[in-house]
Amino acid sequence: MTQSPLPTPTSTPTPASDPGTDPHLDFAGTTPYEDYVRAEVLTHLQHPLTDEPGEMVFLVTTQVMELWFTVIVHEWTTAAHALRRDELGTALAALERSGHELKALNASWEPLARLTPAEFNAYRAALGEGSGFQSAMYRRMEFLLGEKSASMLVPHRGAPRVHDELAKALHEPSLYDEALAYLSRHGHELPDEVLHRDRGLPHEPHPAVEAAWTAVYAGDARDGSPDGSPDNGLLRLGEALTEVAELVWRWRNDHLVATRRAMGAKQGTGGSAGVAWLEKRARRSVFPELWTARSHV
C-alpha cells in the first residue's frame, strides 16, 4: 500500500523590516544617546567607601540632588535676568519650571528618610567631615534666594574656580532683588536701602517691601488689570515666588525630618549642630514680605 507523503511543515514568514518603524541599532562608535547624556560617565561616578548596601542609595541620591541643584540654579538665574530685562513671561515660565523641579528634588528625600539609625551609622563614618552645607551648587541656590553669607565661601578656598564663582554670585543681585527692582519699576516705590543695598548681605524684611506686596495682593495693581485678577503681572510674579518659597521651605523641613529619623539629635557631619541647625534654617522664611503681606490684605 502506498502511503501518502507527510505534509510539509509550513512556517510563518518573517515580515519584512519596516525602515520607517525599526530603530537604528548599528553605530560606528558610541550611541548618540550616550554622546548627549553621558550616561557612561554618570553611572560610573559612584565609589562607595564601605560594603554597606545603604551607602549606594545615599551616594546616588546625593548626586541626583546635585543635578537638581544645577537645574534650579539655571532656572532662577534665567528668571532673574529676564526680570532685569522686563521680560515677565520668560521669568514666570522659568519659575514655573523650577517649581516642578523643586518637587522632584524634594522627593529625593524619600529613600533617605527611610534609613534606620543603624543603617545610617553603618556607613556614616565614611563621610568623614563631608556635609551637605559644603555643596557649592546648593550655596548658589541659597544666594539666589537672598540668603547671602560670605563665611560660606570659606570651605571652598581650596578650589579656586568654585570659590571665584561663589564670590561672584555672592555680590550679584539675588532673584528676589531682581523681583523687587521689577516691582519698583512697575508702580510701587521702594527706598534706596532696598534697591541699592549691599548685595553681599542677606535680605532682611523691610516695611516698604511688605507694603508694596500688600498693595499688589489687595488689588492696587498698576501693572496689569485694575481689579487684581490673574492677568495682573505683579500678582502672578508674587504667586510664582511664593510657590518657590513654599517648596524651599518643604525642602528644608524634609531635610530636617530625614535627619531626625536617621540620627536623632546627634551632632551633624562636618561639625554642624545637626538637627538643631536644620531647625533654625527651617524657621527662616524665604521672600519674607510675601508671607507677612497676606496678613494685611
* Count of CB atoms situated within 10 Å of the CB of 258: 20
Q: How many CB atoms lie within 10 A of CB 171?
A: 13
Residue 158: exposure state from Cβ atoms within 10 A (0-12, 13-18, ≥19): exposed
Residue 140 CA to its chain's centroid (Å): 10
The 10 Å Cβ neighbour count of residue 45 is: 9
C-alpha cell at 224: 496689569
Backbone angles phi, psi at 165, to 5 degrees: -65, -40
First CA to last CA distance, the chain: 106
Closest CA to 291 of 221, 232, 252, 244: 244
At 175, is the secondary structure helix, strand, or coil? helix
Binding-site annotation, residues for heme:
255
Name all contacts of 90-94 with Cβ < 8 Å and 24+ positions apart.
91/237, 91/240, 92/236, 92/237, 92/240
Annotated binding site for substrate: 124, 269
Residue ranges of the annotated binding site are 124, 255, 269
**Amino acid letter at 54?**
G
The sign of the torsion formed by the CA atoms of 243, 244, 248, 254 equals positive
